[in-house]
Structure 1
Amino acid sequence: LAPWIPVVGLEIHAQISSNSKLFSGSQVQFAAPPNSLVSFFDASLPGTLPVLNRRCVEAAVMTGLALNCSINKKSLFDRKHYFYADLPAGYQITQQRVPIAVNGSLSYSLCIDNKMSQMVTKTVRIKQIQLEQDSGKSLHDDTRCQTLVDLNRAGVGLMEVVMEPDMCCGEEAAAAVRELQLILQTLGSSQAVMAEGQLRVDANVSVHHPGEPYGVRTEVKNINSIRFLAKAVDYEIQRQIEELENGGTILNETRAFDSKLGCTVPMRDKEGKQDYRFMPEPNLPPLILYDAKSLPANMNHQQVINIDWIHERLPDLPSVKREKLVEQYGILPEHSFTLL
């Protein structure tokens, strides 16, 4: 039998490093007392309106430029409807139709032997980066049979980075996320601390034979460490291959990684395809960005976001710093990865 080809794509939610939320003035702070950082808009009281946070837009543009994306000078906001206790509005504001950045790429390196003596560099395409709100948190209290809702996180700004299915194993997925994490931290656009939920990864995994179309994919949700990401992806690839070789079928389902058992477990069926009933967000105008060419002469620079201005102020990325270490100090390339 022909060998199986695994296909792995990632969706990464990075919390934007900002003092206030995406559409309200509430503070952002990890581990604050429950429901202490909630504005009327975050609790979606009727009549409250969103006001876009400039810092979040600048962070998304900066990240898009660092990942070689085209920045859309006009992007749109949409409502994505679903019903959950920690989403008081019944919808999330996101960018489904025209996101802020598209068509980028991320180069990452991994060692092909255990001694770290041979590095290989690969590239994953970035489909898009979109701005969206985070939801609140549900805390399940089993002793009292209650679910408690904390809205401190509701409305916090996220960047969703969608990577194309260009990876084929857990190690590649882990290396790509590690490099992205370093880039976000270098830019200051996200602190990307996985332990605090500032970087959450969903992995889409499928397997197929050469020359055949992609197989049915499963999604492993909310992976919160790079080590667990590698384990979850490799386990899921192996599980699907064994299932298919034993004559079974793969279900299009959402799974979670159980770190204690070291395996993935089903969460809920992606029944058919969940209908999110996307619609344009009526309370937000299109987000218009400018560059040096398109900036009107009489425009107040404080009121607009200039892509070129952000581009000029990008810091050296980790890949550039590593090259400098190799060129200036004669360090071996694989050692530069240990340092950075």
Structure 2
Amino acid sequence: MASCVANELLHKIKQLSILLPINVCLRRRCSTSSKQRDSQRHLTTKSSSEKLVGVVGLEIHAQISSNSKLFSGSPVCFSAPPNSQVSFFDASLPGTLPVLNRRCVEAAVMTGLALNCTINKKSLFDRKHYFYADLPAGYQITQQRRPVAVDGVLTYSFLGGKKRSQVVRKHVQIKQIQLEQDSGKSLHDDVHSQTLIDLNRAGVGLMELVMEPDMSCGEEAAAAVRELQLILQALGTCQGNMSEGQLRVDANVSVHRPGEPLGVRTEVKNINSIRYLARAIDYEIQRQIGVMQRGGTVHNETRAYDSKSGETIPMRDKEGLQDYRFMPEPNLPPLIVFEDNATLPPGVDSSQVVVVQKIKEGLPELPSVKREHLVQAYGILPEHSFTLVNEEGLMEYFEEVMKATRKEPRKVIGWVMNELLGQLKQQDMSVSQR
């Protein structure tokens, strides 16, 4: 009896020893699979919740400071009566031909040099076809194939940090600078249900600057535009008055997760101040993030910024690619500029052509150099030099006070920053209006 029980017990132990490795293996496999599922779940959650970030590129149209238009001798005057500054060519009368304004070419080359661009010694003009009432020819003369300047970089700064006292420096790539005509103005009369056309602006010379999508928020874009505005004003190539349309900015905005392809972009137009530019971009970034978080789709469209509501509103859908039917401009030869006098053909007068080296030698002091000069000459903080240069007329006023009083720079800068700017802000005035 005891022997039978012992044999049965031994048999069960053998069965257990056979089954045990299988059970352990199964248990380990289950455990490993569970860990893998947890890891995959963690990765999925991390991927889905990874923060969406904004991507911003800019297209800027800068009206060239010139007494006459790009291809005609008509004067440029912002406040002139409607249709009083229009030549036959501006009105696109048959038989009229374009004559290139050398001053506009020099302005584009100077701007390109200041932005560290490569100047194309040979550039081409093209026709860009579209039909608006304020474009009488039915096409715009521009530089789509080979612009006057390419591959530049703009270094800009803004005050960051918790107390906004730290100078943050960043760079944005300049894809190209091209010369082109401006269009006229369409004036909509809702009372009489009609649209009036003013061709005074038609044919005014523009520089279109295309900035790569190297910015991530409205603050960066606003700082880049402000730095560009200061550079253009220092060069004298554009007055940069946004309220008069001398500097017009279109923002291309999209969102994506870092490491993933860029998202569908929208173009925001009708931005007439740097402050509104920052607000419009930040709003559009948050709008697109909200759309994607709700499972929606961001559409490729053009939107306008409403400064009253602080929102962007849809203007037109851009899903269908517009065909501008670019073609070479048959009435203009290639634009040739020369590196220096040594490269001029025999018998060519240097005063009648554009010489890059001559323009480079005449470049004025740029804002970044002015800031360095203030820090080194007066020993002030970089953030103070930033404010002095960015506020129109403030640097000149500071140096006038320094010469007149001969006080310690830190005391003068303290008075300027705290007392002067505080009083001007209360009275809604600027230093240039003093």
Instruction: Tell me the secondary structure at the aligned position of residue 299 of structure 2.
Output: coil
The question of 1:83 aligning with 2:154 is answered no
The question of 1:334 aligning with 2:391 is answered no
Candidates 53, 70, 79, aligned match of 2:101:
53
Instruction: Tell me the secondary structure at the aligned position of residue 343 of structure 2.
Output: coil
Instruction: Tell me the secondary structure at the aligned position of residue 200 of structure 2.
Output: coil
Structure 1 stretch 66-75 or stretch 216-225: which is displaced more? 216-225
Partner of 2:142: 94
CA distance in 1, matches of 2:53, 2:161: 21
For each residue in 1:187-216, what CA deviation from the matched residue of structure 2 results, as whole angstroms up to 9, or x when unmatched? 000001011100000000000112210000
- Mapped contact 1:10–1:203 kept (Cα < 8 A): yes
Partner of 2:228: 180
The question of 1:191 aligning with 2:239 is answered yes
Q: Structure 2 length as normaliser, TM-score?
A: 0.77
Partner of 2:260: 212
CA distance in 2, matches of 1:316, 1:210: 38
CA distance in 2, matches of 1:297, 1:315: 31
User: What is the CA distance between 1:5 and its match in structure 2?
Assistant: 1.9
For each residue in 1:276-327, what CA deviation from the matched residue of structure 2 results, as whole angstroms up to 9, or x when unmatched? 0000000000000001242234321122110000000000101001101111
User: What is the CA distance between 1:114 and its match in structure 2?
Assistant: 5.7
Candidates 274, 278, 294, aligned match of 2:322:
274
Partner of 1:145: 193
The residue type paired with residue 295 of structure 1 is L
The question of 1:306 aligning with 2:360 is answered no
Instruction: Tell me the secondary structure at the aligned position of residue 12 of structure 1.
Output: strand
- Mapped contact 1:15–1:190 kept (Cα < 8 A): yes
- Mapped contact 1:116–1:334 kept (Cα < 8 A): no
Candidates 111, 117, 121, aligned match of 1:63:
111
The question of 1:30 aligning with 2:78 is answered yes
CA distance in 2, matches of 1:62, 1:169: 29
For each residue in 1:220-246, what CA deviation from the matched residue of structure 2 results, as whole angstroms up to 9, or x when unmatched? 013110000000000000000000110
For each residue in 1:35-80, what CA deviation from the matched residue of structure 2 results, as whole angstroms up to 9, or x when unmatched? 0000000000011000000100000000000000000000000000
- Mapped contact 2:299–2:319 kept (Cα < 8 A): no
Instruction: Tell me the secondary structure at the aligned position of residue 165 of structure 1.
Output: strand
Instruction: Tell me the secondary structure at the aligned position of residue 221 of structure 1.
Output: strand
CA distance in 1, matches of 2:259, 2:374: 42
Partner of 2:313: 265
For each residue in 1:102-124, what CA deviation from the matched residue of structure 2 results, as whole angstroms up to 9, or x when unmatched? 00000001111364421110000
Q: Map 1:151-162 onto structure 2 (within 5 A).
A: 151-162=199-210
Note the residue ranges of structure 1 that are not aligned, 5 or more in a row. none
User: What is the CA distance between 1:271 and its match in structure 2?
Assistant: 4.1
CA distance in 1, matches of 2:364, 2:164: 28
CA distance in 2, matches of 1:133, 1:111: 36
Instruction: Tell me the secondary structure at the aligned position of residue 161 of structure 2.
Output: coil
Give the length in aligned residue pairs. 340
Greater relative CO, 1 or 2 (CA 8 Å, sep 6+): 1
Instruction: Tell me the secondary structure at the aligned position of residue 89 of structure 1.
Output: coil
CA distance in 2, matches of 1:304, 1:222: 37
Q: Which protein is bigger by CA-based radius of gyration?
A: 2
CA distance in 1, matches of 2:295, 2:165: 41
Q: Choose between structure 1 and 2: higher strand proportion.
A: 1
Q: Structure 1 length as normaliser, TM-score?
A: 0.99
For each residue in 1:158-215, what CA deviation from the matched residue of structure 2 results, as whole angstroms up to 9, or x when unmatched? 0000000000000000000000000000000000101110000000000011221000
- Mapped contact 1:26–1:39 kept (Cα < 8 A): yes
Distance 1:114 1:152, change over 3 A: farther
Note the residue ranges of structure 2 that are not aligned, 5 or more in a row. 1-48, 390-434
User: What is the CA distance between 1:266 and its match in structure 2?
Assistant: 0.5
CA distance in 1, matches of 2:286, 2:319: 24
CA distance in 1, matches of 2:348, 2:87: 32
Partner of 2:371: 322
- Mapped contact 1:79–1:280 kept (Cα < 8 A): yes
CA distance in 1, matches of 2:207, 2:112: 10
